Amino acid sequence: MGPAARATKIDVGILGATGAVGQQFIAQLAGHPWFRTTWLGASGRSEGKKYRDLTWRLSTPFPEEVADLAIEPAAPGDAPRLVFSALDATVAGEIEQAFAAAGHIVVSNAGNFRMDPLVPLLIPEVNPDHLGLVPAQQQAKGWSGAIVTNPNCSTVFLAMALAAVRQFNPTAVSVTTLQAASGAGYPGVASLDLLGNVIPFISGEEEKIENETKKILGSLVNGHVEPHPVVVSAQTTRVAVVNGHTEMISVRFAKTPSREDLLYAFASFWGRPQQHRLPTAPAKPLIYLNEGNRPQPRLDVEREGGMAVFVGRLRPCPVLGYKFVALGHNTIRGAAGAAVLNAELMSVEGMLD
């Protein structure tokens, strides 16, 4: 099975299709070889409008293929079996649950069910086996459908970098993030708060990084996820960048690797998406940049379709052992692109049949 087009595409719906992440889902699915967007749902004021009558706020071209879809209420019914959720956390809980109960496969970017012990918090290169939680989820919750989630945008990049080096047993991680405006959605952060400024706080973000990372790196044992013992400390900031979260990371390892060990681990990191050549999988999930002042959001974040994580400046840390920089595209690999890759993995695993 490769990234070639399918005889019949799978119809997909998008919940929360009008927001910032919803638009990124539409862009990510435009021209997708396996999936075809046929249903758009949103709560509130946009109901009934055609998509072409809403404001398109991405710099990528407006995808004509959804132009004539009308916005449906965010309730199961006509929606196709596979729905992506870009819903806001304030409403995602109830709506996603209703869809799962009604038999839909909900591939969600919302945070509500990420830490639910029965819900996979999935990065296809890192923990594809966590999809094994789904049958227990269905049984316990009495759902004919299911919910599968992707991590918070800043967690993804850290978790992928750590996964590449997990054979050296990371025990403690300290990370400071410099996060882009697009991570807060639209309208999100006021320009008066961000122009020439740094906001050293993002609500709930540090806890998400600290907790989600442990679950993602955890092991599936007897049908539940045993969190990884690594201790994570996060400090999160918002900076005047449009797209791209930069992360300054320090790690202590139980087994002390050499710098070459780590560089080799980054370079050879690889997973199911690459093995199956999933349509939106990057050729290499981690790309180490040798230049001494990279990665940088403006120069690097749009490369590889926004699906790779860029790493650089690996060097000794006097306190924890090693430190390095990671960068990823927060609305692609950190949100809509993550969910689409999750669905691609589920497709080749036969979970969408």
Provide the minimum distance between the beta carbon of 203 and a second copy in the complex, in angstroms, as a whole number: 9
Q: List the 170-179 sheet strands across, edge first.
A: 231-238, 170-179, 245-253, 321-328, 309-317, 286-289
Nearer to a second copy, 100 or 165 (CB): 165
Are 25 and 86 in contact by the 8 Å Cβ rule? The answer is yes
Provide the minimum distance between the beta carbon of 260 and a second copy in the complex, in angstroms, as a whole number: 21
Is 329 annotated as catalytic?
Answer: no
Looking up tokens 């890192």, which residue turns up? 126
Which of 58, 91, 98, 267: binder of a second copy (CB under 8 A)? 58
Cα–Cα distance measured from residue 40 to residue 20, given in angstroms and rounded to the nearest whole number: 14
Provide the minimum distance between the beta carbon of 288 and a second copy in the complex, in angstroms, as a whole number: 14
Nearer to a second copy, 20 or 82 (CB): 20
Which of 1, 7, 190, 221: binder of a second copy (CB under 8 A)? 190
Interface with a second copy includes 281 (CB under 8 A)? no
* DSSP secondary structure letters along 223-246: TEEE----EEEEEEEE-S-SS-EE
User: Quick one: tokens of 239?
Assistant: 């900076």
- Interface size with a second copy, residues (CB under 8 A): 63
Of 298-337, binders to a second copy (CB under 8 A) are 298-300, 302-303, 312-313, 317-320, 323, 325
Q: For residue 90, count other CB atoms closer than 10 A to its CB.
A: 10
Are 33 and 6 in contact by the 8 Å Cβ rule? The answer is yes
* DSSP secondary structure letters along 200-215: ---TTHHHHHHHHHHH
- Cis ω for the linkage preceding 151 (within 30 of 0): no
Which of 38, 97, 169, 237: binder of a second copy (CB under 8 A)? 237
Residues 32, 130, 228, 245: which is the catalytic one?
245
Is 130 annotated as catalytic?
Answer: no
**Which residues, in sequence order, are CB contacts of 231 under 8 Å at separation 6+?**
171, 172, 173
Interface with a second copy includes 240 (CB under 8 A)? yes
Provide the minimum distance between the beta carbon of 266 and a second copy in the complex, in angstroms, as a whole number: 16
Which of 174, 213, 280, 330: binder of a second copy (CB under 8 A)? 174
Binding site for a second copy (CB under 8 A): 20, 55, 57-59, 61, 172-174, 176, 178, 181-182, 186-201, 210, 231-233, 235, 237, 239-242, 244, 246, 248, 250, 291-300, 302-303, 312-313, 317-320, 323, 325
